[in-house]
């Protein structure tokens, strides 16, 4: 039986064991390092956006609570796709936090900005079930 498989890293055809993926350790290491770098870059990009979101809210909200237009945040490079955690009020409003700075969508493209308060720590909701953790 002839197996025509190639090295995952350099593409050279492989001989030997049927489950072989690389010519040698060098190719294996190179391949795994590349894969790791891609994952690290993805983490880095998300962290950068979270930090950017945080500093945008911080710069617009020096007093603890204020209202702004959604378009203002967007124009400053804010991304609504990323946040670190949520907080839900008794009235069912969800605040999305970037570290200690959060926001909630209200009406007419308006957004309320808040700073993290100690009492919020007591009620952490599961993001997926929206139920309170015990
Ligand atoms: Zn190779």
Neighbours of ion ligand 1 (CB under 5 A): 7, 9-10, 23, 27
**H-type helices in 61-100, by residue range?**
70-75
User: Residues with Cβ < 8 Å from 56, sequence gap 6 or more?
Assistant: 73, 76, 77, 78
As a whole number of angstroms, the distance between CA 98 and CA 115 comes to: 10
Residue 9 Cα, ligand 1 centroid: separation in angstroms?
5
Tell me: pLDDT of 127 over 60: no
Alpha-carbon torsion angle 25, 26, 32, 34, nearest 10: -170
User: What percentage of the chain carries pLDDT values higher than 90?
Assistant: 66
| Spatial strand order in the sheet of 110-115 | 65-69, 110-115, 101-105, 94-98, 85-88
**The tokens of 54 are what?**
């945080």
Q: How confident is the model at residue 64 (pLDDT cuts 50, 70, 90)?
A: confident
Task: Report which secondary-structure segment, H or E, holds 37.
Answer: helix 25-60
Residue 45 Cα, ligand 1 centroid: separation in angstroms?
30
Contact 70, 111 (CB under 8 A): yes
Tell me: pLDDT of 90 over 90: no
pTM over 0.75: no
Q: How confident is the model at residue 1 (pLDDT cuts 50, 70, 90)?
A: very low
């Amino acid at each position: 039986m002839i197996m025509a498989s190639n090295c995952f890293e350099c593409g050279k055809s492989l001989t030997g064991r049927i489950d072989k993926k690389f010519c040698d350790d060098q190719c294996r290491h190179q391949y795994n390092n590349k894969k790791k770098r891609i994952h690290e870059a993805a983490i880095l990009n998300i962290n950068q956006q979270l930090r950017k979101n945080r500093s945008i809210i911080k710069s617009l909200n020096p007093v603890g609570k204020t209202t702004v237009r959604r378009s203002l945040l967007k124009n400053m490079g804010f991304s609504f796709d990323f946040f670190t955690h949520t907080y839900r009020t008794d009235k069912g409003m969800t605040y999305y936090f970037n570290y200690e700075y959060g926001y909630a969508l209200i009406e007419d493209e308006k957004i309320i900005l808040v700073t993290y308060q100690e009492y919020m720590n007591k009620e952490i909701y599961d993001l997926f079930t929206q139920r309170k953790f015990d």
